Amino acid sequence: MKAVIFRRHGGLENLEIVDDYPEPEMGQSDCLVRVRAVSLNGFDPQVLNGIPGMKTPLPMIPCGDVAGEIVAVGASVKNRKVGELVSIVPFLDGKIMGETTLGGCCELISLPEEGVLPIPADLSVVDAAALPIAYGTAWRMLGARGNLKKGERLLVVSATGGVGVACVQLGKMLGAEVIACGTGSWKLDRLRELGADDVFDLESEGIASAIHARLGKPRHDGTGGVDVAVNFTGGDTWVPTLRSLRRGGRLLTCGATANYAPAEDLRYVFSFELNIHGSSGWTIEDQAQVLDFASSGKVKPAVHAIRPIDEYADALQELMARKVIGKSIITL
C-alpha cells in the first residue's frame, strides 16, 4: 500500500513515499479502515527529528489524526459496519499514533472496534480529520478541567497553533470573551476571523502588560485580569500569564513546548489564590463531543490547506516554518 514513512530520525530528507508498504493484518475484533484524510500536528516534526527519551518504532508512519471508511470488519465486531465513515481514536492502550505506534498517513489501517468513532452524516472526512488531537485536547482543557463559563474572560497564549486555535474557537462557542496572542499580523488577523475578541502580538506587547492595559491590573478585590488563561508553552510566558489572572483565576496547561521548567513566582499563586489545572490529552468522550460540536455547526474546524499525500513533505515544511494557522490536511 502507499504510505509516508521514515526509517531514521532527522530532517525532511528522511521522508519517503512508498507504494509497497505491507498492508496491516486484521484481527477478529478489528476494523480495517481505508484512510481518506489525515491532519498534521506540532509533534510530527518532533517525532521525525527524534524526541529524547521516547522510543519511536522504525520505520514510522506519521500522523495521528485520521478519518476514513471501514472496508472490512472482524468476526467479533458488533457495532461497526463496512462502508461506515469513522474518526480514528489516536490514543489507545497507552500508545499514540504517529509517536509510539504507526500513524495513519497511509492507505489502510487496522485497529480495534473501540478505536473508531462514527462520523456524523453531515460532517466531511476533512473536517473530521482536523478534530481529534487539537480540538479534543482544547475541549478537555476548557470543558472538563477549566469549566469555562459564559461571560468569563479567557486568555489564550501562543494561540496560533492547532490547540491554540481550537481554544479560541471553543472558548468563543462557550460564550467567553476571548483574548488571543501570538506573532505575525496575518495570523492575528486570522484569529479575529475565527472568533477572538481581541488580539496582541507577543513581539510588541508583553502578556501581563497587554492584559493590564486592557482589563486593569488584578487586585485583591477581584477586579482586573482574566478569569481563565491557557498556557501550554511554559518558559518565559509562565509568570507573565500568572500575573494576568484575576484573584481566584484558573490557569490551564496541557504542555510545555518552550520549557517544562520555567521560572516561578509563588507570590502570585498564593496571594491571589490562583488555581493551576493540568490537562493530559483527551478522552474518547472528548473526541466524540468535538465531532458533535462540528456536526451541529457550533464550531467549524480551521483548515489551513488540503494537499494530496505526495505533498506531505511540503505540508510538514510549511508547518515547521510556522506558516500555518489551523490544520493542514492530507488526502488519500
Cell of 294: 462540528
Q: How many CB atoms lie within 10 A of CB 60?
A: 21
- pLDDT tens for each residue of 10-54: 999 999 999 999 999 999 999 999 999 999 999 999 999 999 888
Residue type, 71: V
pLDDT the model gives residue 257:
87
Quick one: 270 exposed, middle or buried, by C-beta within 10 A (0-12, 13-18, 19+)?
exposed
Q: At what angle do helices 132-139 and 284-295 cross, to 10 degrees?
A: 100
- pLDDT tens for each residue of 170-209: 999 999 999 999 999 999 999 999 999 999 999 999 999 9
Residue 303 contacts by C-beta under 8 Å, 6 or more apart in sequence?
A: 126, 127, 130, 326, 327, 329
Across 315-324, average pLDDT: 96
The Cα–Cα gap between 4 and 14 comes to 10
What residues form DSSP beta bridges with 32? 72, 110
Residue 266: enclosing H or E segment and its boundaries? helix 266-271
β-pair type (153-156, 226-230): parallel
- pLDDT tens for each residue of 149-167: 999 999 999 999 999 999 9
Report whether pLDDT(269) > 90.
yes
Cell of 248: 481566584
Give percent of the chain with pLDDT exceeding 90. Answer: 95
Q: What is the mean pLDDT of the chain?
A: 96
Contact 151, 325 (CB under 8 A): no
The Cα–Cα gap between 25 and 210 comes to 54
- pLDDT tens for each residue of 91-125: 988 889 999 999 999 999 999 999 999 999 999 99
Contact 97, 61 (CB under 8 A): no
pLDDT the model gives residue 75:
96
pLDDT the model gives residue 225:
98
CA distances from 51 to 19, 44, 98, 245, 268 (A): 27, 10, 12, 33, 33
Give percent of the chain with pLDDT exceeding 70. Answer: 100
Report whether pLDDT(8) > 90.
yes
Query: What does DSSP assign to residue 13?
Result: G
pLDDT the model gives residue 313:
98
| 286-304-36 Cα angle (round to 5) | 65
pLDDT the model gives residue 214:
97
The Cα–Cα gap between 139 and 324 comes to 21
Residue 227 contacts by C-beta under 8 Å, 6 or more apart in sequence?
A: 149, 152, 153, 154, 245, 246, 249, 250
